[in-house]
Structure 1
């Protein structure tokens, strides 16, 4: 078959090119301590959308930096005992989507929380010195300052904060919570499971935000990764700071978070993916030490994967 990346046998052993900062774990431990010290000021507002078997709310909480973060929250109207839960994450620049698409999991007895990433296409704020949305440019947002200012640091923390809020809801079984998403959402599901170790199951589909230097060296800094080229062209055209830049990006590289994951994991990969190259996805997968499995689609890229949504539904809803 044609190749857009390494042969499959090499992908299974690939460990990534991007560096891991020496203080990586300490950085994230400090960041989590900052998050946990916040008063999230959780607010639940009944949604205009309702369903016969689901209670639907707009959930708001205060994240790091003071931004008010929004998520859709859906809960079964009737449930015997504690409920399992799922936290969901969306693709880059998008939003958490319509209510209707989350009802199958609610019908299966799950509480569902779907995050709007700050400053993208949903209702979450980005209070990084501006009013309103920023939409994209988030990989390089904060790259010229201390790593604590990286916008994806804040978004990664939002995922863990939302999971913790859901785990603390009355009626939710904190020992039966899953994280799921595709593309940016797949990366955020990985970040969530890494930063909230109580996540039990993780379903990630062609995850973004991994192995930035590999993306650069493959000349794939386009589409979702176009910001890397934008940054170098505008702010470091001679690449005098290249090593520094890739080291700083290492703080928000999911392959570096992957060893922290304790959840049982399923990752879906299309070997023809030119948006998030397969090697960058394998760089993260190969570092996960928890029980894991791959769904490999040899002829598919960054697109709908036949049967994958059904397989993920069965994985997430399988009895714990």
Structure 2
């Protein structure tokens, strides 16, 4: 006998909507990645104080998709004088409207033996602005500027920013470049997944309740940031096709088959924002080592228990003992 919860999960595990990829998806990303290959990050870092005596804190900036200075914290465990240590490094992407946070928020990773790079997403709630050009009107929020073309889309900029964040983390002298891992929740989970698909830098990924998945379904049904795209199309219905086409280039539904590294994904069955159909649509297309943590009664949040599982997953793939 199968109960309703088990039946719901089984249905999601079989969920296989059609991909929405344009014929030039691979060409688009090959061209985009080639454009940034070898481009200087123009990064800087400055040591700052913290009440946490066991960590070194650096306020850093680097450049991503344009010359916008992208702000981040780079944190390392404090070592003995003269000790030249190399640490596995976690790159953290925050949720929509958030920021890189405070250094002390990542003390648990420092205690585990990780370095951390926590980055601002451009234009949102942190210290980072946004110098993207905009040649058409937009609606509230950050999603819709440039949404009529993949080349000008906000998603293109933040994806490139996120990829280059992993490269900036790997370039730090304290980072073991062979042990860079990425993590995020919601918007950050979507970025952790798309970076896993497009970059050779990360060795493992954790995508908590990821956005940027099955976005044709999301724009129709979810209350996520994709509601901004829905609002835009409501005002400009003649642009529905262009909007859906643009979103398809950044949809993990289409990019998930490119993931080759271990990945942990989480999902709440009561999540109205990153809905389970969207998460499973992308997850089911991942062919690499993967694990799903599904929570039947959770909404759009990440529980302490799931955070603990993520810590164990990251430690295992970084070769740390726990």
Give the TM-score taking structure 1 as reference length.
0.90
Q: Tell me, what secondary structure is at the counterpart of 2:249? A: helix
Matches within 5 A, 1:1-320: 7-17=8-18, 19-49=20-50, 51-78=52-79, 81-129=85-133, 137-144=141-148, 146-217=149-220, 219-220=221-222, 222-236=223-237, 240-318=238-316, 319-320=318-319
CA deviation digits over 1:212-258, x for unaligned, max 9? Answer: 211244x33x343211221112112xxx4433321221012122221
Matched residues in 1 for 2:286 and 2:200: separation? 13
Residues 67, 125 of structure 1: 8 Å contact kept = yes
Residues 197, 263 of structure 1: 8 Å contact kept = no
RMSD: 2.2
Matched residues in 1 for 2:116 and 2:278: separation? 29
Q: Determine which structure has greater relative contact order: mean sequence separation of CA pairs < 8 Å that are 6+ residues apart, divided by chain length.
A: 1
Matched residues in 1 for 2:312 and 2:90: separation? 13
Gaps of 5+ in 2: none
Query: Runs (4+) of structure 1 moved beyond 4 Å?
Result: none
How many pairs align? 309
Matched residues in 2 for 1:201 and 1:37: separation? 23
Q: Tell me, what secondary structure is at the counterpart of 2:151? A: helix
Q: Tell me, what secondary structure is at the counterpart of 1:142? A: coil
Residues 139, 231 of structure 2: 8 Å contact kept = no
Residues 270, 298 of structure 1: 8 Å contact kept = yes
Mark the CA change 1:136 to 1:260 in structure 2 (over 3 Å): closer, same or farther. Answer: farther
CA deviation digits over 1:59-85, x for unaligned, max 9? Answer: 101222211111111011216642111
Residues 18, 213 of structure 1: 8 Å contact kept = no
Which region of structure 1 is more displaced relative to structure 2, 86-95 or 299-308? 299-308
Matched residues in 1 for 2:119 and 2:211: separation? 17
Residues 208, 265 of structure 2: 8 Å contact kept = yes
Matched residues in 1 for 2:26 and 2:173: separation? 32
Matched residues in 1 for 2:45 and 2:139: separation? 25
Q: Tell me, what secondary structure is at the counterpart of 1:275? A: coil
Matched residues in 1 for 2:170 and 2:304: separation? 32
Residues 17, 211 of structure 1: 8 Å contact kept = no
Residues 182, 207 of structure 1: 8 Å contact kept = yes
Residues 187, 211 of structure 2: 8 Å contact kept = yes
Gaps of 5+ in 1: none
